[in-house]
Chain A
């Protein structure tokens, strides 16, 4: 069965420090990969997505993610976080086959930036 794992449910980090949020997925077919962010009391919005090509993807707000096919990972990184980055981050995978088309979201990682 396809799944998305986010190993860290909560990540506290000091302001201006780097951060990495981990995401692993299981799928036997090609996938499209996404990171979404949810600020308090809001809906989710797209940070970045991987379709094909370069494995390093740059998104909004200084975030980037690297696709690693052999490790089936798509970790999100930012070199220096701000207080405003405090939010919930969701990794998602779209699996599309002839008879199957689904987007699966991970459980989310809560990033808390400490002043």
Chain B
């Protein structure tokens, strides 16, 4: 399997622009997670889906952020409008619920976002 695929790997944009990050989870996985990582705040869970349904979006910082999962093989995280404080590495991860309930999350390589 190719693993979790994220695009783009790097994104540089100007404040106020719309940014869309994309993720393709591992085939067959039923959970998908979006994380943000910064030096100041560490790794933060933004939102996660189970079977394409958003379960917990309490980590989404504000209304400028939105995430969708239209099907089992694709998800997007959108920031509109973007601000410099959104600069971070955004990770997508997927997992498959196992019988013991201790799913391993498989992380993508991340998208490094810089908002100027």
Interface size on B, residues (CB 8 A): 20
Interface residue ranges, A against B (CB under 8 Å): 32, 34, 36, 42-46, 49-52, 90, 94, 96, 101-105, 107-108
Between-chain CB contacts (< 8 Å), 10 pairs? A32-B100, A42-B109, A43-B109, A46-B105, A94-B103, A101-B55, A103-B105, A104-B45, A105-B43, A108-B42
**Contact partners of A49 in chain B: CB under 8 A:** 102, 104
A45-B107 in contact given A32-B102, A52-B100, A101-B55 (Cβ < 8 Å): yes
Interface contact B104-A43, CB-CB below 8 Å: no
Question: How many A-B residue pairs lie within 8 Å, measured between CB atoms?
Answer: 52
DSSP class of A's interface residues: helix, strand, loop or mixed?
A: strand
A44-B105 in contact given A102-B56, A103-B45, A105-B45 (Cβ < 8 Å): yes
Interface contact B42-A105, CB-CB below 8 Å: yes
Interface contact A43-B45, CB-CB below 8 Å: no
Interchain CA distance A102-B93 in the complex, whole Å: 14
Which 9 A/B pairs are nearest by Cβ-Cβ distance? A43-B107, A32-B102, A44-B107, A51-B102, A107-B42, A51-B100, A105-B43, A46-B104, A43-B109
**Contact partners of B106 in chain A: CB under 8 A:** 45-46
Nearest CB of A to B101, in Å: 6
Chain A residue with the shortest CB-CB distance to B102? A32
**Contact partners of A46 in chain B: CB under 8 A:** 104-106
Nearest CB of B to A87, in Å: 13
Interface contact A96-B43, CB-CB below 8 Å: no
Interface contact A90-B43, CB-CB below 8 Å: yes
